[in-house]
Amino acid sequence: MIFQSARLVCFRRIVYITEQFGVFLFIDAIVLLKLNNIYVAATSQHVGKTTTTLGLVSACMKLGLKTGYCKPVGQKILDLNHLKVDKDTVLFSDLINFKIVPERHSPVILGHGAVQEYLDHPEKQDLFKKIIKAEKYLSQENNVVIYEGTGHPGVGSVVGVSNARVAKLLNAGVIMVVEGGIGSTIDMLSMTTSLFREQNVPILGVILNKVTPEKMDKVLHYTGRWLQKNNFPLLGMIPYEKTLAYPLIRMVAEAVKGVITYNADFADNKVESIIAGSLIDVNELKSSQDLLLVVSTRSINEAIRKIEFMAQNHGISHCPLSGIVANGDGQMDAHTLKYIEKNNLPLIRTEIDTYGSVLRISKIEVKINKNTPWKVRMAIDLFDSHIDMEQILQSCRIPGSHS
């Protein structure tokens, strides 16, 4: 392979120079490996762009490549010490350890009112110029720059910065992420890749994400056949990992419009499943340490005693709860308060009833962020284990970059 030979050249130079002068020319050997920009897109929201970008950035860094990150078009603003950036930028600034400069790492944000402002006064906003300026700086400073797309490929079209148009501006090859299946996967790829073909943007390959483990062989056979027929390299298949979909207690509190009144320091506890106070099941208690109890305040004392009783009678030594959502009027007795404090259980008080709370919690959209370091590690591990990084780097290598 071409990239393998490039790595071998670098390795030989390192060994030879280390024996005589130390490791000073290690950086020089790596700098010679210059790669084209990579743009991570997806067929729709919540498919795995951030997960893929995390794995890709981490893999490049492990190879010794100086790696840049940019969210060229964002939708969700985070005010960071009076710097307005897309919230994903903060996650990657921690991973790569760069100081956030909005015009470089998050040049365009389509927040509330931005579209109307652009349509009313398009002459005042040169979005292309902002994106190109960011690319120029990052490309000069790095061996490779990873750009994270936003939403589905058409997002941003209303102001002329769809994912496809932005990838074209950045002179980037695209990695397309899609949920792994057969029929729906092929349909989505057929539709969304057409936007990039219109812009003559190369598709470096496809990653099938969240593939049901027991269906991986079937998906590989049928979807892989379609990809091959349409000249889309398959870069790998990532199995569905349910723990990446677990929300945090702080996200639950936001969803039910509640307040954490006890043990707020444990707001980053993860939630695997929900149990209602009236439907406590011993099998669920046995299966997890991260259950969320949703209960009316007037029934909470009874529910806690029931959980303790079942745990004692079925050999459950750990506390199966990660938090509690309580609604309505009522008082917690001393025994319940002691249980909450002993097990460091965050308690959320809300005005929404039990049924409404469960509905809201079940609709939480879970994304990896800096408050979920365990998810970051898992995303990187999944990428490393299932994606052909060699193929990616070979496909975006600039001719002559290793010579």
Mean pLDDT of the chain: 86
What are the φ and ψ backbone dihedral angles of 160, each rounded to 5 degrees? 85, 10
**Contact (CB, 8 A) for 350 and 326:** yes
According to the model, what pLDDT value does residue 25 have?
42
Closest to 367 in 3D by CA, of 91, 46, 130, 19: 46
According to the model, what pLDDT value does residue 76 have?
77
| Lowest-confidence segment of 53-62, 110-119, 329-338 by average pLDDT | 110-119
According to the model, what pLDDT value does residue 19 have?
44
According to the model, what pLDDT value does residue 221 have?
97
Closest to 257 in 3D by CA, of 356, 355, 366: 356
Each residue of 146-205: pLDDT tens digit?
A: 999 998 999 988 888 999 999 999 999 999 999 999 999 999 999 999 999 999 999 999
Would you kindly state where each structural domain of the chain is located, as residue ranges? 33-241+368-395, 247-362
AA letter at 366 = V
According to the model, what pLDDT value does residue 80 have?
66
According to the model, what pLDDT value does residue 384 have?
95
Identical fold, 33-241+368-395 and 247-362: no
| Lowest-confidence segment of 81-90, 204-213, 310-319, 336-345 by average pLDDT | 81-90
CATH 3.40.50.300 fits 33-241+368-395, yes or no: yes
According to the model, what pLDDT value does residue 399 have?
52
- Check pLDDT > 70 for residue 312: yes
According to the model, what pLDDT value does residue 124 have?
67
| Lowest-confidence segment of 2-16, 85-99, 139-153, 154-168 by average pLDDT | 2-16
According to the model, what pLDDT value does residue 24 have?
44
CA atoms within 13 A on the CB side of 327: 18
According to CATH, what is the number of the domain 247-362? 3.40.1390.20
Length of the chain (residues): 403
User: What predicted TM-score, i.e. pTM, was given to this entire model?
Assistant: 0.80
Closest to 248 in 3D by CA, of 322, 298, 167: 322
Give me the helices (H) in 22-153, please. 26-31, 49-62, 87-96, 102-105, 114-120, 127-141
Q: Between 94 and 327, whose confidence is greater?
A: 327
Q: Between 232 and 362, whose confidence is greater?
A: 232
What's the rounded mean pLDDT across residues 94-120?
85
According to the model, what pLDDT value does residue 248 have?
94
According to the model, what pLDDT value does residue 136 have?
95
Round to whole Å and give the CA distance between 196 and 169.
12
What's the rounded mean pLDDT across residues 244-258?
93
Q: Which of the listed ranges 85-94, 117-126, 220-229 does the model predict with the highest average pLDDT?
A: 220-229
**Contact (CB, 8 A) for 169 and 70:** no
Each residue of 24-47: pLDDT tens digit?
A: 444 444 344 577 899 999 999 889
Q: Give the confidence band of 5 by pLDDT, cuts at 50, 70, 90.
A: very low
Is the dihedral angle over the CA atoms 218, 223, 228, 229 positive or is it negative? Answer: positive
Q: What share of the chain is helix, strand, coil (3-state, %, to 5)?
A: 50, 20, 30
Is the dihedral angle over the CA atoms 60, 61, 65, 67 positive or is it negative? Answer: positive
According to the model, what pLDDT value does residue 200 have?
93
